[in-house]
Structure 1
Amino acid sequence: MAGLMVLAGAGPAGAAGGAGAGPEADVAYHGRVSLQRGQLRVWLVPRNEGPSGLANATVRLRLSADLADAQELAAGCARAGEREVVCETGPLPEHGRGRHIGLVLGLRERPAEVAVRIDTWWNGGAADRNHGNDEHVVLALDTGDAYAF
């Protein structure tokens, strides 16, 4: 958990250093989001398309609805605000996957829909020129259906 606090101080991936400040990597996220009766389920797999491996990165989930006060988060995850959760990915080898991240988030209300914004919050200063695969916005309707990204 202390590692997350250090990561949190680093700020958004694009804020620390530009191209050439560190290795080049292409972090990507693929997964599913579903909403049912005020409970948001998120399952994602971080991936690194290369060309360099990363020791760790942090994925950020920002919601359009407030989180309930009490949350049981997966290991390596922390609440970062009323509507925000961050999770470390674990090592991302070149052309490899990080750890699977599964979250069941309780919401304060029972909204009809929730927009979930997924992006890289910290990547160790690596240059990532392709944000088309690590920045997603998913709209989940309160149907229990899974929406892929």
Structure 2
Amino acid sequence: MKSVLGVVLAASAVLGTGAGTSAGAMWPEAGPEVGPEAGVEAGVEAGVEAGVEADLAHHGHVSLWDGRVGVWLVSENHGPSDLAQATVRLAFSEPMAGGQELPTACLWSSDRVVSCRTGELRAAGGVGELALDLRTAGLPDELTVEITTAWRDGAAADRNPGNDRHRVLVLATGDPYVF
């Protein structure tokens, strides 16, 4: 299922559906993990060459103030294989206001989820940066942001998945909460 998601994301990049999309444009959600029960070696996605490995890491900070959410995210590939593309998913516990423009590499998956392409991430040094300034639908005192890798182009394994999955509680203080 993840391979299908990868093809959809790649097609979206080629067709430019990330530019100026609104909350109505949606990418399909990632399906269940592929594993031994599906007749595929554990940790290897269907249609992906076995042995290809990339260690994605996402770090940055999130701030919340006066109904605004600021996200600064750096995605890195610690290798050993290069990645032509990856997708990071940002899921917010509170809905975001409708009609907001996103960077061309991103699009709305729902009113609480933004999915963004990282661009090419070379092994041991590839870096992609992302900055978002979003409005919330209300004025929450706090919210939670979950940052995860939704798709890794051609990489079947990530032996250190802890550095590309974060859950951050953000208080409406304007302070940067680092992940």
Sort the Cα spacing of 1:99 and 1:131 in 2 relative to 1 into closer, same or farther, 3 A: same
Which of 96, 100, 106 is 1:71 aligned to? Answer: 100
CA contact (8 A) 1:12 1:122 kept: no
CA deviation after TM superposition for structure 1 residue 75, in Å: 2.1
Give the aligned residue type for 1:104.
Answer: D
Distance 2:28 2:94 in 1: 24
Give the SS at the match of 2:138. coil
Larger helix proportion of the pair:
2
Which of 123, 126, 133 is 1:94 aligned to? Answer: 123
- Decide which structure has the larger Cα Rg and report it: 2
1:19 aligns with 2:44: yes
Structure 2 counterpart of 1:148 = 178
1:120 aligns with 2:149: yes
Give the SS at the match of 2:63. strand
- Identity, % of aligned pairs? 44
Distance 1:15 1:83 in 2: 26
TM-score normalised over the length of structure 2: 0.75
Distance 2:29 2:127 in 1: 20
CA contact (8 A) 1:13 1:120 kept: no
1:111 aligns with 2:140: yes
Sort the Cα spacing of 1:13 and 1:34 in 2 relative to 1 into closer, same or farther, 3 A: farther
CA deviation after TM superposition for structure 1 residue 34, in Å: 0.2
CA contact (8 A) 2:92 2:144 kept: yes
CA contact (8 A) 2:83 2:154 kept: no
CA contact (8 A) 1:24 1:50 kept: yes
Distance 2:126 2:31 in 1: 21
Sort the Cα spacing of 1:10 and 1:71 in 2 relative to 1 into closer, same or farther, 3 A: closer
Deviations 1:87-144 (A, max 9, x none): 0000010012332100011110110001000000111241112111000001110000
Higher relative contact order (CA 8 A, sep 6+): 1
Structure 1 counterpart of 2:7 = none
Structure 2 counterpart of 1:134 = 164
Distance 1:33 1:10 in 2: 23
The Cα RMSD (Å) is 2.3
TM-score normalised over the length of structure 1: 0.89
In the alignment of these two chains, the number of paired residues is: 147
